[in-house]
Structure 1
């Protein structure tokens, strides 16, 4: 999840879903506020730990932080040096995730097409929004954290991409690199508020509208495919923290159009291979999870 959340366009919620921990994560987050009030404030540490599934959350948090700390530079390097291949891998990953999430629907019926289409159109629209520039005040950091974490917990919507749209992706990364503790605490406070709010809402929605919610989330992932399409035309540029020009707004084009526009090899065969690896990886994770359940 940490590795996915670094990349604008890939959702950590998608990774949680295909690895089979999504619902356990929602339940643990949703139970935390009540566990704090009922047990932690009364000094019942063991009861608190069990009520909020503390071992699971601790392992997950350690994995996310460890992944961000160790893989951020590697993923940034791969995105810069081999963009077509890595985006092809993510594309295959999400295509397989669409199939995986769609299979969780209990009763297929025509009415589910409405939330499916709504999710697809909404996520597609999100991926086409131009990036903006916000003055990085404390309130903006708080709001950006709340919005980004809500997106991160939803399969198909990337929290990092929300930060890019808000113009807060670079300021947040700069705060992390500079270890700006006060700014990071404000950002994390926003994340905490957003996480506790959206987790309880999603859990309630799944309990009462299981199949429509799954159809909506499937639509989110279908719409997100526009963001991870490997061949892009750069519409505008921005200067990153290192003073380098990097793409800001992009549009999806065909491999042939990419070759004609850039004069570069679209690497179609290698891209198909990487997409297949991503697809097979999801199928392998699902197979391992089903065997463990059995």
Structure 2
């Protein structure tokens, strides 16, 4: 999830969904406020830990933070040097995730087409937005954290892409690289506030409108495919913190159109291979998860 959340266009919520931990994560986060009031303030640490599934949350958080700390630079480098192949891999990942999430619907009916279309159109529209830089003050870091984490927990909507739209992606990455603990602390508090609020809403919605929510999330992922399409035409540029020119707004083009526009190879065959690898990875994760769930417990 940490590796996915670094990449604008890929959702950590999607990774949680295809690995089978999404609903457990929502339940654990939703239980935190009540567990805090009922147990932690009374000094009942063991009961608090059990009520909020503390070991699961701690392991997940440690994995996310370790991945962000170790992979932020590597993923940035890979996206610069091998952008078509990396985006192709993510494209295959999300295509398989669409199939995986769609299969979770219990009762297929025509009424589900509406949330599917709404989710697709909304996510597609979000991917076409251009970034508008904000002044990176402490309240802005707090608000950016709250908005980004809400997106991160939803399959198909990328929290890091929300940061790109807000113009806060580079300041947050810079804070991670420089270990600016004050900025990261404010950002983390914003994430916590957003996470606690949105998790309860999503959990309630799943319990009441399971199939409708899944159709909406499937639409989110379909719409997000526009962002991870490997071949892009750059429409405008911005200057990053290192003084380098990087794309600000892009439009998807065909592999042949990309080759004509840029004079570079489309790497079509390698891109297809990477997309298939991403698709197979999701299927492998789903198969392993299914085997573990069906294995008898001792």
| CA–CA distance in structure 1, aligned partners of residues 42 and 254 of structure 2 | 61
| CA–CA distance in structure 2, aligned partners of residues 238 and 22 of structure 1 | 36
Deviations 1:256-277 (A, max 9, x none): 1000001111000000000000
Displacement of 1:219 in angstroms is: 0.1
Deviations 1:183-236 (A, max 9, x none): 222111111110000000000000000000000000000000000000000111
The answer to whether residue 278 in structure 2 is matched with residue 266 in structure 1 is no
Q: Secondary structure at the match of 2:23?
A: helix
Q: Secondary structure at the match of 1:20?
A: coil
1:230-269 alignment runs, 5 A limit: 230-269=230-269
Normalising by structure 2, we get a TM-score of 0.97
Q: Provide the alpha-carbon RMSD of the alignment.
A: 0.7
Query: Match for residue 227 of structure 2?
Result: 227
Deviations 1:231-262 (A, max 9, x none): 00011111122211111111100001000001
Query: Match for residue 191 of structure 1?
Result: 191
| CA–CA distance in structure 2, aligned partners of residues 73 and 177 of structure 1 | 8
| CA–CA distance in structure 2, aligned partners of residues 219 and 64 of structure 1 | 26
Deviations 1:96-151 (A, max 9, x none): 00000000000000000000000000000000001101111222111111000000
Q: Secondary structure at the match of 1:246?
A: strand
Q: Secondary structure at the match of 1:237?
A: strand
Query: Match for residue 22 of structure 1?
Result: 22
| CA–CA distance in structure 2, aligned partners of residues 26 and 144 of structure 1 | 21
Check conservation: 2:2, 2:67, Cα contact below 8 A: yes
- Once the two structures are overlaid, the 10-residue window that deviates more, 119-128 or 176-185, is 176-185
- Once the two structures are overlaid, the 10-residue window that deviates more, 269-278 or 186-195, is 186-195
| CA–CA distance in structure 2, aligned partners of residues 59 and 181 of structure 1 | 21
Normalising by structure 1, we get a TM-score of 0.99
The answer to whether residue 72 in structure 2 is matched with residue 72 in structure 1 is yes
Extract unaligned runs of 5+ from structure 2.
none
Query: Match for residue 7 of structure 1?
Result: 7
Displacement of 1:179 in angstroms is: 2.2
Displacement of 1:178 in angstroms is: 2.4
Q: Secondary structure at the match of 2:247?
A: strand
| CA–CA distance in structure 1, aligned partners of residues 136 and 4 of structure 2 | 24
| CA–CA distance in structure 2, aligned partners of residues 186 and 151 of structure 1 | 18
Q: How many residues align?
A: 294
Query: Match for residue 149 of structure 2?
Result: 149
| CA–CA distance in structure 1, aligned partners of residues 126 and 75 of structure 2 | 23
Deviations 1:44-65 (A, max 9, x none): 1111100000000010011001
| CA–CA distance in structure 2, aligned partners of residues 71 and 94 of structure 1 | 20
| CA–CA distance in structure 1, aligned partners of residues 64 and 178 of structure 2 | 20
Query: Match for residue 56 of structure 1?
Result: 56
1:72-111 alignment runs, 5 A limit: 72-111=72-111
Query: Match for residue 212 of structure 1?
Result: 212
| CA–CA distance in structure 1, aligned partners of residues 106 and 204 of structure 2 | 17
| CA–CA distance in structure 1, aligned partners of residues 178 and 265 of structure 2 | 38
